[in-house]
Structure 1
Amino acid sequence: MNGYYRPQRNWGVRTKHVIWHGLDVLTLENEQLRVSFAVGRGADVVEFLHKTSDTDFVWLSANGLRHPALRAVTPPDARMAFYDSYPGGWQEVFPVGGAPSAGPGLPFGSHGFHGEVWHRPWDWRVVEDAPSAVQLELSIRTETLPYRLIRNVRLETGSSSLLFEEVAINESDVDLPLMWGHHITFGRPFLGPGSVIEMPRSVEIVTGDISRTHPQRRLAANRVMPWHDAVDAGGRAVDMSRLPVVGTPGEMSYLRGFREGHYLVRDSRGLGLEIAWDAAVMPYVWCWQEFGAMRDYPWFGRHYNIGLEPFTSIPREGLAAAIENGTASRLAGGARKAFVLRATVGCL
């Protein structure tokens, strides 16, 4: 149910197909929310607006959302290709995550930084279209590894919650590795110093080598520590639950120990976005923080944002490292892997 003659409605739960900065965008809307997906580029969530408070939980980078044809010439370096076109927002990372690396039967770097679905157009169709509920199906086939990814998103009347129901399908008869994640970011104007991140008490922080992440950072390197009792290199306490002042060094670490996938990010008003997901499929959260301390490429001190990204695997060094440490997921030939995530706005 697509195209010019699909019934239109400007009340109840509804969907629109619009052109935004030269890109095809689908918008879902009800009394509480307006959520927009850039299906012309990665099916990124580029708007998650809580209408009654006029708060958009999507952070957009300084470069923002643009059609790829309007970008500068893409450099051959895969990391730069991602950074130069990074709009902020919320991407799906699939079928690999992090830095380019070798893979099964693939030369080094052939799958690019954070996989391939973030920069390509997705297919879409309207599965259900009623005043009480709208459901969209968004899908894409990958090229470097033979996967199909299908994402169903559903919004119901009166709800402040958006449901994602997804399935990854191995379309070959070969057993394949998989890194899969949701690159969810938060930033201004919603986020700022004093904003709070709530995590389950069971969560631990895993930090790596400083040289592999940020040249400056807050946390002690190569450590495992409780989320609520983190320390820096000098043993001083670091409160990871409360965001610091502008100019504080950034961080790249990993969270684990989720008995149930759940976290909440809220501002000084108590308004927050809760992310709940199937932690059996994605047992890790990549924790990226940038508070304006990085004065050179690619951020140049312009950003104050965090990423809290449910993931199947670690680390950000890519597929080869995840296979080596045993966290890479695997999907047998012809097999399917389902995943569910829900994003809910709430006032505390």
Structure 2
Amino acid sequence: MSPYADWFDWDLLLNYRMNAWSLPWSYRIEKDSGDEVMVHLWRTTVIAPLRIDKWITLRKGESIVYVSHKITNVGYEYFDFIWGIHPGFRVEPGYRIDLPAEDVLIEESLPDERLGAKGTMYKWPYAKDKSGSSVDMRIVPPPTVRTCDFHYVIKLNGSVDIMLNYF
């Protein structure tokens, strides 16, 4: 990102969703055997100088969807970005989300900054609430708790594997 981004309000043009989610993708079936199916999808973005490659794999006998991404800067300048994906899967109270996170940054925690103000850091998976009690962020709470949290994983400990388990 240009050092002039703040001056020109480029942060408004290059919002956190960019434009990849709403555009058509090219694809090719790379594997289609009795045991495994893999599709390769790709596209370049319109606003940012990026090519995104994505591989989605399903394996016989496994209830796991494997997704891998590769981001390539196809422009002439260095380009900072944060890659965030939003896979669609059913989540219910009691589900546990395991990921190899270490440091997590709170962007927003509602209501009333319940886990800390914007910019507060914590060690995954335990955040502290206002009373100092530990909150296990792996466990999906019921909707009756009426909370909403938006956090960034700042440091990973290993590969980016996310596991969703029902207990």
TM-score, normalised via structure 1 length: 0.39
The partner residue of 1:146 within 44, 49, 62 is: 49
Contact 2:41 2:53 in 1 (8 A): yes
* Structure 1 stretches lacking a partner, 5+ long: 1-101, 271-348
Question: 1:123 offset after TM fit, Å?
Answer: 1.4
Residue in structure 1 matching 2:106, options 207, 210, 218:
207
Cα distance, 1:257 vs. partner? 4.0
Post-superposition CA distance 1:55-113 (Å, at most 9, x none): xxxxxxxxxxxxxxxxxxxxxxxxxxxxxxxxxxxxxxxxxxxxxxx489874522344
Counterpart of 1:231 in structure 2 is: 128
Can you list the C-alpha shifts for 1:266-296, whole angstroms capped at 9, x where unaligned? Answer: 22xx3xxxxxxxxxxxxxxxxxxxxxxxxxx
Q: In structure 1, the residue corresponding to 2:55 is in which secondary structure?
A: strand
Q: CA RMSD in A?
A: 3.2
1:218–1:251 CA contact under 8 A, matched in 2: no
TM alignment of 1:1-348, pairs within 5 A: 102=5, 107-184=10-87, 186-187=89-90, 190-192=91-93, 194-199=94-99, 203-208=102-107, 214-221=110-117, 222-245=119-142, 246-260=144-158, 261-267=160-166, 270=167
Amino acid at match of 1:250: C
SS in 1 for 2:116: coil
What is the TM-score of this pair, normalised by structure 2? 0.71
Secondary structure in 2 aligned to 1:183? coil
- Native 8 Å contact 2:111 2:148 kept in 1: no
Which whole-Å CA distance do the structure 2 matches of 1:142 and 1:103 have between them?
22
Q: Structure 2: which 5+ residue stretches go unaligned?
A: none
The residue type equivalent to 1:227 in the other structure is: W
Q: Distance in 2 between matches of 1:240 and 1:217?
A: 15
What amino acid does structure 2 have at the position aligned with 1:240? M
1:234 Cα shift?
A: 3.0
Give the letter for the 2:95 counterpart.
S
3-state secondary structure, aligned to 1:176: coil
> How far 1:250 sits from its partner (Å)?
1.7
> Quick one: which amino acid aligns to residue 197 of structure 1?
I
Q: Report the CA distance between 1:114 and its aligned residue.
A: 0.8
| Residue identity in the other structure for 1:195 | Y
C-alpha displacement of 1:119 = 0.9
Letter in 1 for 2:47: T
- Cα–Cα, structure 1 residues 191 and 170, in superposed 2: closer, same or farther, change >3 Å? same
Letter in 2 for 1:129: D
CA deviation map 1:283-329 (0-9, x unaligned): xxxxxxxxxxxxxxxxxxxxxxxxxxxxxxxxxxxxxxxxxxxxxxx
Identity of aligned residues (%): 22
Amino acid at match of 2:156: F
